[in-house]
Amino acid sequence: MSDRQQHWDSVYRDKNHQRVSWFQADCQAEAAEINALDLPHDSLILDVGAGASRLVDALLQEGYSQLHALDIARDGLVIAQQRLGDAAANVHWHCADIIRAELPRPIALWHDRAAFHFLTDPADQQAYVRQLRLHLAPGGYVMLAAFAINGPAKCSDLVVEQYNSEKLLTTLGEGFALIHSEQRVHVTPAGAEQLFEHCLLRWAG
Ligand X SMILES: C[S@@+](CC[C@H](N)C(=O)[O-])C[C@H]1O[C@@H](n2cnc3c(N)ncnc32)[C@H](O)[C@@H]1O
151 binds ligand X (CB under 6 A): no
Residue number with CB closer to ligand X (18 or 150): 18
69-88 footprint of ligand X as x/- string (CB under 6 A): -xxxx--x------------
Note whether 131 and 142 are within 8 A (CB): no
69: β partners? 47, 93
Q: For the window 16-55, what string marks contact with ligand X as x by the rule CB under 6 A?
A: ------x-x------------------------xxx-x--
Backbone angles phi, psi at 189, to 5 degrees: -55, -25
Residue closer to ligand X (CB basis): 187 or 204: 187
Shortest distance, CB of residue 91 to ligand X, whole angstroms? 14
Q: What is the dihedral of CA 33, 114, 199, 70, to 10 degrees?
A: -60
Minimum distance between the CB of residue 90 and ligand X, rounded to whole angstroms? Answer: 19
d(CA 151, CA 145): 12
Select 149 or 177, whichever has its Cβ closest to ligand X: 149
- CA–CA gap between residue 172 and residue 130 (Å, rounded): 9
Q: Using CB under 6 A, which of 44, 107, 108, 115 touches ligand X?
A: 115
β-bridge pairing 154-155 and 158-159:
antiparallel
- Give which of 148, 141, 193 is closest to 168, Cα–Cα: 148
Site string (119-148) toward ligand X, x via CB under 6 A? ------------------------------
CB of 105 closer than 8 Å to CB of 128: no
DSSP 52-96: T-SHHHHHHHTT--EEEEEES-HHHHHHHHHHHGGGGGGEEEEES
152 contributes a contact to ligand X by CB under 6 A: no
- Sole window of 64-72, 161-169, 175-183, 192-200 interacting with ligand X (rule: CB under 6 A): 64-72
We find the least distance from the C-beta atom of residue 194 to ligand X, in angstroms, to be 10
Between 198 and 203, name the residue whose CB sits nearer to ligand X: 198
Which residues sit at the interface with ligand X, rule CB under 6 A? Answer: 4, 8, 22, 24, 49-51, 53, 70-73, 76, 97-99, 113-115, 118, 155
